[in-house]
Amino acid sequence: MDVLQTPIEYLKGVGPNRANILKQELNLHTFQDLLHFFPYRYIDRSTFYNIIDLPKNSSEVQIKGKIIKTEVIQQKKGKRLVAQFSDGQIQMELVWFRGHQWIKESLKLNVEYVIFGRLNWYANRPSMPHPEMETVENFDKGFSRTLQALYPSTEKLLSRGISQRVIAKMMQELLQSNHSKFAESLPEDLRSKYKLISKSEAVKNIHFPKDQNTLTAAQNRLKFEELFFIQLQLLMKNLQRKQKIKGFVFEKVGNHFNTFFNTHLPFELTEAQKRVIKEIRKDTGNGQQMNRLLQGDVGSGKTIVALMVMLIAADNGFQSCLMAPTEILAKQHFQSLKTLMGSMDLSIALLTGSSKKAERKQLAEQLESGALDILVGTHAVIEDKVQFKNLGLAVVDEQHRFGVAQRAKLWRKNSIPPHVLVMTATPIPRTLAMSVYGDLDISVIDELPPGRKKIKTIHRYDSNRLQVFQFIAEEIQKGRQIYMVYPLIKESEKMDYKDLMDGYESISRAFPRPQFQISIVHGQMQAKDKDYEMDRFIKKQTQIMVATTVIEVGVNVPNASVMLIESAERFGLSQLHQLRGRVGRGNDQSYCILMSSHKLTTEAKTRLETMTATTDGFKIAEVDLKLRGPGDLMGTQQSGVLQLKIADIIKDNQWLKTARSDAQALLREDPHLEAQKNTPLRQTLAKMKAYQNIWNYIS
Ligand code: ADP
Ligand code: MG
């Protein structure tokens, strides 16, 4: 057995009790886990200060000296222990607010100590609360004389005596007793290409760096390794899928597509749309199953691309389906596809949760006989009951609302899986998409249809409300329609609902009937009532749509030109961006008004400033990523792939790209990792625990 798979309790100095805590608190089960439990920070323990030279701030410093005397001082709340500490020239105070009895007894007078901690300045005199300390004798014996690693810890670990020092001892034991057994995981040629140090050097230096240079070398090596293996696995999976999984061949572009293109297409396609259709065309024609992610900012025109691909499917005798995350959206897709197709000789139907039994039955027959060409709907489409004659293409809109499991379900519809096109407006930065969706091919519509006026975004405080309403009244007079959106956050649904209703009332007063008509849509309404209200808005019977974020995704009302967002500080960036994308779809100048109170956190301020500064979804996503970290980004929560141990998707972007291109090159040359030089890769992959996880995630 690989020694690194040894359970952690067998490490000298650990034992069953500590092992249990390590498992519970840090998820460390084996030697390997411990070895890859990386420090989050290092402190410099190579320099000593004289008290007289101490920096006049609260930095962490290390000083050598002796304790002259200690005393317990009574203060208003409790006591504190104060020790006079001298470096031989002057004195400063060390202070303890807790545990003084025990500490007082353990402190030895006139013995040389090394103390370490954060400085506190008061009336120009330094002190150090709760210093870490050890005798110079011990310090010189230990291994903390250079850069000292700090590991993530918890209250419980500390209370059970598993301190930084204990963790360091465990690491030392692990490294000393097993050092010769750490197998190299990267091939020689890759290592020399980037001058990467060996695995065993790297793990030693990440825990016990001699200096900054050895630390950097260790970090580089381990970051590259981490990113490289993720990319390697994703790419291998992709290759295997392409080799193994045969797909339907859409041989030709036929009548349906050509008729549509020549006589129904209401506008000129953008270059980006044309390019994406070509990419899809190539994918669906080569005998392999397509699994493609189509990214395009809100309003970039993904729907028409989906339709045109469905027409190609129909030209080749296949059925298609299009799935949307909500009923409103499904219905809207259905209607706009129908309108676009006009009198074309194709049948299309809608299936949602609220479809009637009789309707369903009829649909089922048409689907099974092949009489129906295109099915639009919600999750209802992938229920097991729904059987197609020959489903050749499945389009999934707004991917982040669709779980991985649902994607997998689609695959089981046929013996040969349909081509899958996943459309998302969540502008995942490319680098991130690469590592999360490395298994999907990616197409990007990076261009908006021409003639769109840039949406003007402004931030206003609640105190400006009168002016804002005045402006809205003027827009309505010009014939425009308005969205007013309220936040809806699960934990306080009741409060949000009240906010919404209060808001609705004051809006009704400010915009009285009959001159103004108002729709309202929120989560507690029945689907059919929502649809009814939405319909009235779409048909221009109402001018204002008051809503919670139900309308966030996909709704298309080109005549709506103002998006007003209440309590905008409570929305996340990607949500704000999605909401703003509801306007600016027609030819009129559109506006997004972000309302907030004056009380804003720094982060909220950054969000609002970002929104007013740019409409570029990818830029916004980058900021979002920086604010929240990748784990939180929509659609990536389940990925698991991003729980990186040492690399940072943003900061180590360059390494990520490098790792990906190297993994690609390597697989081109040696797709099954059979070459002698790639033995380390093969062996490491076989051992990797994460392996299984990633595979599960992907399909
Ligand atoms: P999204 O990518 O957000 O799903 P849609 O497909 O709903 O965007 O398209 C947004 C609007 O832009 C629709 O009204 C659509 O008809 C229109 N549109 C799409 N492509 C073009 C184009 N090439 N030229 C002009 N308008 C277009
Ligand atoms: Mg859309």
What CATH number corresponds to the domain at position 497?
Answer: 3.40.50.300
Same domain as 287, residue 262: yes
Q: Are 484 and 520 in contact (CB under 8 A)?
A: no
Structure tokens, 377: 């709907």
Query: Is 344 in the same domain as 230?
Result: no
Probe ligand 1: pick from 271, 300, 323, 579, max atoms within 8 Å of CB? 300
Please state which of the ranges 88-102, 307-321, 366-380 shows the lowest mean pLDDT: 88-102
pLDDT score of 637 more than 60: no
| Gyration radius of the chain's alpha carbons | 31
> Among 614, 643, 673, where does a domain finish?
614
Query: If you measure from the C-alpha of residue 509 to the centroid of ligand 1, how many angstroms do you get, rounded to a whole number?
Result: 35
Q: Is residue 699 part of a domain?
A: no
Q: What is the pLDDT of residue 403?
A: 53
492-536: per-residue pLDDT in tens?
667 777 888 888 999 999 999 999 999 998 878 887 888 888 889
Beta strands in 446-509 (DSSP E): 456-461, 481-485
Say which DSSP state 49 is in: B
Q: Is residue 697 one of the residues assigned to a domain?
A: no
pLDDT for the residue 41: 85
* 546 lies in the same domain as 522: yes
Residues 313 and 398 in one domain: yes
The whole-number pLDDT of residue 59 equals: 83
Question: How far does residue 528's CA lie from ligand 2's centre (Å)?
Answer: 21
Domain endpoint, select from 98, 119, 144:
144
Residue nearest to ligand 1 atom 12, measured at CA = 301
* Residue to mutate (ligand 1; options 267, 300, 302, 303; most atoms within 8 A of CB): 303
Query: Does 22 reside within a domain?
Result: no
* pLDDT-wise least confident of 296-300, 556-560, 670-674: 296-300
Look at residue 635 in the predicted model and tell me its pLDDT.
40
On whether the CB atoms of residues 392 and 250 are closer than 8 A, the answer is yes
Rounded to whole angstroms, the Cα distance separating 279 from 192 reads: 37
Comparing 27 with 322, the larger pLDDT belongs to 322
Q: Are residues 513 and 604 in the same domain?
A: yes
Is the domain of 561 the same as that of 462? Answer: yes
Residue 494 and residue 397 in one domain: no
pLDDT for 399? 62
Same structural domain, 209 and 229: yes
Q: What ligand has the least distance to the C-alpha of 578?
A: 1
Is-contact 275 404, C-beta < 8 A?
A: no
What average pLDDT does range 655-666 have in this prediction? 90
Q: For the residues 85-94, what does the mean pLDDT come to?
A: 95
374 located within any domain: yes
Structural domain contains residue 543: yes
* 628 is a domain residue: no
Say which residues have a Cβ less than 8 Å from residue 560's Cβ, sequence separation at least 6: 480, 481, 482, 483, 537, 545, 582, 583, 585, 586
Q: Strand runs (DSSP E) across 87-130, as ranges?
A: 91-96, 112-118, 120-122, 125-129
Q: Which ligand is nearest to the CA of 586?
A: 1
Query: Tens digit of pLDDT for each residue in 221-267?
Result: 999 999 999 889 888 877 777 676 788 999 999 999 999 999 999 99
Residues 300 and 438 in one domain: yes
Closest C-alpha to ligand 1, atom 9: 301
For residues 409 and 460, membership in a common domain is answered with no
Q: What is the pLDDT of residues 71-84, one digit of tens each?
A: 998 888 788 899 99
Given a cut of 70, whether residue 427 has pLDDT beyond it is no
- Residue 526 is predicted with a pLDDT of 82
* Residue (of 257, 252, 299, 292) closest to 276 by Cα position: 292
Is 0.85 topped by the overall pTM? no
Among 402-406, 565-569, 580-584, top mean pLDDT goes to 565-569
Those residues with Cβ within 8 angstroms of residue 362's Cβ, 6 or more apart along the chain or in another chain: none
- pLDDT for res 648: 78
CATH number of residue 125's parent domain: 2.40.50.140
Q: pLDDT tens for residues 26-75? A: 889 989 889 999 998 888 888 899 999 999 988 889 999 999 999 998 88
Q: Are residues 414 and 267 in the same domain?
A: yes
Residue 484 has pLDDT above 90, yes or no: yes
Q: Would residue 384 count as lying in a domain? A: yes
Tell me which residue range forms the domain holding 493.
456-614
In a domain, 66, yes or no: yes
| Number of structural domains in the chain | 4
Q: Which among 614, 629, 662 is the end of a domain?
A: 614
Mean pLDDT, the chain, as a whole number?
86
Per-residue pLDDT band at 402 (split at 50, 70, 90) = low
Q: Give 202 or 79, the one with higher predicted confidence.
A: 202
Question: Are 219 and 355 members of one domain?
Answer: no
Q: What is the pLDDT of residue 198?
A: 95
Residue nearest to atom 24 of ligand 1 (CA): 449
Q: Measured from the CA of 303, which atom of ligand 1 is nearest? A: 6
